[in-house]
Amino acid sequence: MARTFLIDTDTASDDAVAIIMALRASDVRVAAITTVAGNVNVQQSTRNALYTVELCGADVPVYAGAEKPLLRRYENATWFHGRDGLGDHGYAPARRTPESMHAVDAIIQTIETNPGLVMVTLGPLTNVALALARKPQIASQVGRCVVMGGAPCCEGNVTPAAEFNIWVDPEAARLVMLSGLPIELVGWHLCRRDAVLHDDDIGRVLALNNRVASFAIECNSHARSAYKIQTGEDGICLPDPVTMCLALDPSVGNWSEHYVDVETQSELTRGMTVVDRLSVADDERNKTVWTEVLRRPRAKVYWTMDTQRWKAALMAGLR
């Protein structure tokens, strides 16, 4: 029987590739795609999601969601993904339009009608936090919640402490992390270095010689240049597809379970994913120090993955 996925996304270039992987996985049914403001504004992210669904010949409903973070000013990442989020190649507008239901209602409804589903979040967590605030009990109806976000014990891509999806809406991320959802955290570090698509990998993708594969490379052209400027690494870095790969097959990664909280008070470390990697927090002598996090379930935090298997999964999705 097909597994049911729900994807929440601020659809830009790497989100689009992740959506393609899910839509093309033969044992997955994507019940809904919900969009949120992040890389681009929510109207553009919705257009990009619809374009991607249409490119795959799929008919998954797309629901538009939050236009801004819970409390903060909205910040985009067009410097990285291009003004339209897809590298500014002038893709034709999708023929389809979003559903009339709001993404937050769609998240609640999709979880309630598909208990045990896999939720994959690829953007700021605003929609998910709003859904949880309205119906906290949905947390126990989700089978897995695979989150692209954070920089556990590593450097971030917005500040040294924080990764974009968490930094944009840290209050939402904190609410989600402490909600009781069965979180699996895929940090930014997993998509770097050996996980980056280098020229030989890109050549192999283009040799697949189909529209979806060439779109996956083309729409990430702007992101490739920006990533080189940001990190000095040459190639296409794909955080959301790496996350989708681990949602499809968690055995590609190595994880351990830890308490995780998100910093919301400090300006310096806003959006930092604070991970109890050495499990010191529930040590008898420390138990009174970090009390709130101890009342929550631990999250699975991915530390490494098999980069060859990740690239094989990507190729399978684009074939």
Kindly list the residues in this chain that would bind ligand BDR in the complex (CB under 6 A).
12, 14-15, 39, 77, 80, 122-123, 148, 157, 163-165, 188, 239-240
Q: Which of 123, 149, 156, 235 binds Ca ion (CB under 5 A)?
A: 123
Residue 15 burial class via C-beta count within 10 angstroms: exposed 0-12, middle 13-18, buried 19 and up: buried
> Could you give the CA distance from residue 217 to residue 206 in angstroms, rounded to a whole number?
8
Q: Which is nearer to ligand BDR, 163 or 263 (CB)?
A: 163
Nearer to ligand BDR, 98 or 239 (CB): 239
Fill in the per-residue mask, 10 to 29: x = in contact with Ca ion (CB under 5 A), - = not in contact: x----x--------------
Gyration radius of the chain over CA positions: 18
- Range in contact with Ca ion (rule: CB under 5 A) among 2-10, 69-77, 139-147, 196-204: 2-10
Min dist CB 11 to Ca ion, Å, is 7
> Which lies closer to ligand BDR via its Cβ, residue 15 or residue 263?
15
CA separation, residue 191 to residues 233, 289, 310 (Å): 12, 33, 10
- Name the residue among 149, 129, 173, 161 with its Cα closest to residue 246: 149
Q: Which residues are CB-contacts of 167 (< 8 A; sequence separation ≥ 6)?
A: 156, 158, 159, 270, 271
Q: b/e per residue, 234-262, with b = 16+ CB within 10 A?
A: ebbbbbbbbbbbbbbebebbebeebbbbb
Contact criterion met (CB below 8 Å) for 274 and 173? no
Smallest separation (angstroms) from ligand BDR to the CB of 158 = 8
Give which of ligand BDR, Ca ion, none residue 164 binds (C-beta under 5 to 8 Å, depending on kind).
ligand BDR
Out of ligand BDR, Ca ion, none, which partner does residue 157 contact, by CB within 5 to 8 A per kind?
Answer: ligand BDR
Nearer to ligand BDR, 215 or 293 (CB): 215
Q: What gap in Å lies between CA 186 and CA 255, rounded to an integer?
A: 9
- Minimum distance from residue 173 beta carbon to ligand BDR (Å): 12
Nearer to Ca ion, 32 or 281 (CB): 32
Nearer to Ca ion, 163 or 240 (CB): 240
In the complex with Ca ion, the residue whose CB is nearer, 170 or 259, is 170
Pairing between β-strand 253-258 and β-strand 299-305 as defined by DSSP bridges: antiparallel
Q: Does 317 bind Ca ion (CB under 5 A)?
A: no
Does residue 69 bind Ca ion (CB under 5 A)?
Answer: no
Query: CB 70 → ligand BDR: shortest distance, Å?
Result: 18
* For ligand BDR, the closer CB: 239 or 253: 239
Determine which residue in the list 56, 118, 122, 244 makes contact with Ca ion, applying CB under 5 A: 122
Question: Residue 171 is encoded by which pair of tokens?
Answer: 């209050």
Q: Does an H or E element contain 160, and which?
A: none
Q: Locate tokens 């994880």: which residue?
A: 255
Please state the closest distance from residue 181 (CB atom) to ligand BDR, in A.
Answer: 18
Q: What is d(CA 150, CA 147) in angstroms, rounded to the nearest whole number?
A: 9
Residue 5 touches which of Ca ion, ligand BDR, none (Cβ within 5-8 Å per kind): none
Q: Report the C-alpha gap between 224 and 231 in whole angstroms.
A: 11
- CA dist 132 and 135 (Å) reads 5
Q: Smallest distance, Å, CB 73 to ligand BDR?
A: 17
**Piece in contact with Ca ion (CB under 5 A), picked from 8-16, 66-74, 133-141, 251-259:** 8-16
Residue 142: DSSP 8-state:
-
Query: Which residues contact Ca ion by CB under 5 A?
Result: 10, 15, 122-123, 240
